Amino acid sequence: MSETPPGDKPEIRYVNLYEAEAKIYTRRISGYFQRLRRYLSAPLIALFVLLPWLSYHGRPVVWLDIQHQQFNILHFSFWPQDFMLLAWLFIIAAFALFTVSALWGRVWCGFTCPQTVWTLLYIAVADAFEGDRNKRMKLDQQAWSFEKFARKAAKHLVWLLIALLTGLTFVGYFVPSPQLVMGLLPHLDAAGNMTTSLGWGPVFWVLLCSGMTYLNAGYLREQVCKYMCPYSRFQSVMYDKDTIYVQYDTARGETRGPRKPNDDFKAKGLGDCIDCSWCVQVCPVNIDIRDGTQFECINCGLCVDACDQVMDKMGYPKGLIRFTSETELSTGKLQVFRPRLIGYALAVLIMLGAFGYTVSERKPVSIDVLRDRGARMYRVDGDDIQNVYTLKINNMDQQDHTYDIAVKADEGDATEFRILHGHSVKVKTGEVLSVPLRVAVQAAALKGAKHEVEFVVTAQDNAAIVANEESIFVGPEHE
């Protein structure tokens, strides 16, 4: 808001950077892109709600088990040691977003982002109880009455129910949903205090997530996209002149202006835009796409649907506002495949392949061998030369295992190495156990100062669960 302080010179203007956002009343619209969003978002919402209820071999299909620091998906379990895999997954997701953004602009924001999907769901609820744009505006300006109270109360009740369901579902990814729902039922403990069998922690998280949903989708809406979401800024950086995104065909639309149905508008110097402002009224971020590309635009296509309806009514061809590229607008030709896009797509495919291979080859056990680097490189005990090692065995399986530890010389070397004092250990699921080991060899059998040795760890109950690691055995220098 600009204002001139009283008594100040009229040309000095102060700009309030904390101006309150005006409430946006979007007009209800139907059309191809609105339907497309429903077809895309309905299965995604269903998947989000159902996943925490599904189990696989007696365990939730997706379970972020924070208590045991374990991320379970299907039969895979990932531990903090698998952080690199998670980092790779984020990098692949970022590159996939770059690829889609370079091709279609911010379609992720407009069609599948939870913020947009939930916001449109909340707007649909408001629309159902308070009516379309004009009715909602009128209702807000009216004095309080029973009808106004009833409509608002019904809207907020449904908003709260959606928020609660969202909060419960989200926390269900961390605490299995059946357990969560039963565990949240309050009861009196032995001392007569109100409690739940899961304690108050999950209650807090469910309420927090529900509150955030209600606040984000009910009130903050487009402000999250404009001021909070980091993706909104860097997705726009991916645009080039061949990116296909929502644009107004200025050459065709201008000069804009109203006209009567049978007017020869071209003779009056008018373009196809009748200046009805429908494209602005349906916009969830309240911008006028006719002013050109703006960072607020989430590429949702609602203005395309609105303008197409207007064009239909006027008997003009559709597509005055459409998904198109700058190249297409200036030359009439759409160019999709280009080096940058192909580069992004190839990078995603290669990374996905490498990630899939790493996950499929991932063993449920890994070992690290650390040689004792003390002052003495080796010990002499009778006829034996001994080296000391620490073996770190990482059990990444979903159950405890007892592992046999073996050591052998490198291929082609007949030297017989032995582990002294026992060579099997029990490691709990998710545990990284450090095992001190003493390896011995007959001094006479050693042919040189350094021998390559290989440690092999095998689960007693499943020979396929095996890991190996090479190290060095050091003996005395021979004359």
> Is 278 among the residues that bind ligand SF4 (CB under 6 A)?
yes
Q: Which stretch in 14-22, 197-205, 278-286, 407-415 sits in contact with ligand SF4 by CB under 6 A?
A: 278-286
CA–CA distance, 97 with 246 (Å, rounded to integer): 18
Site for ligand SF4 in 228-257 (CB under 6 A): 246, 253, 256
Count the Cβ atoms, other than its own, within 10 Å of residue 84: 9
Least spacing, CB of residue 110 vs ligand SF4, in Å: 6
Chosen residue from 277, 398, 424, 442 binding ligand SF4 by CB under 6 A: 277
CA–CA distance, 41 with 114 (Å, rounded to integer): 9
Size of the site for ligand SF4 (CB under 6 A): 29
Beta carbon nearer to ligand SF4, 312 or 461? 312
Q: From 235, 247, 226, select the one nearest 292 (Cα to Cα).
A: 247
> Is 303 among the residues that bind ligand SF4 (CB under 6 A)?
yes
> Is 270 among the residues that bind ligand SF4 (CB under 6 A)?
no
Least spacing, CB of residue 41 vs ligand SF4, in Å: 15
Beta carbon nearer to ligand SF4, 264 or 477? 264
> Is 221 among the residues that bind ligand SF4 (CB under 6 A)?
no
Strand 462-474 and strand 14-15: pairing? unpaired
Least spacing, CB of residue 229 vs ligand SF4, in Å: 14
Least spacing, CB of residue 320 vs ligand SF4, in Å: 5
CA–CA distance, 15 with 2 (Å, rounded to integer): 5
CA–CA distance, 246 with 326 (Å, rounded to integer): 10
Beta carbon nearer to ligand SF4, 105 or 167? 105
Q: Cα(first)–Cα(last) distance of the chain, in Å?
A: 90
Beta carbon nearer to ligand SF4, 275 or 413? 275
Beta carbon nearer to ligand SF4, 307 or 369? 307
Chosen residue from 171, 206, 283, 405 binding ligand SF4 by CB under 6 A: 283
Least spacing, CB of residue 296 vs ligand SF4, in Å: 7
CA–CA distance, 373 with 47 (Å, rounded to integer): 53
Q: From 213, 95, 234, 221, select the one nearest 158 (Cα to Cα).
A: 213
CA–CA distance, 306 with 318 (Å, rounded to integer): 10
Least spacing, CB of residue 99 vs ligand SF4, in Å: 20
Beta carbon nearer to ligand SF4, 281 or 395? 281
Backbone angles phi, psi at 28, to 5 degrees: -70, 135
Number of helices followed by number of strands (H, E) in the chain: 15, 20
CA–CA distance, 287 with 310 (Å, rounded to integer): 18
Residues making up the chain, counted from first to last? 479
CA–CA distance, 339 with 50 (Å, rounded to integer): 40
Chosen residue from 132, 254, 275, 400 binding ligand SF4 by CB under 6 A: 275
Site for ligand SF4 in 315-374 (CB under 6 A): 320-321
Least spacing, CB of residue 280 vs ligand SF4, in Å: 7
Structure tokens at 11: 């040309």
Binding site for ligand SF4 (CB under 6 A): 246, 253, 256, 273-279, 282-285, 287, 289-290, 297-303, 306-307, 310, 320-321
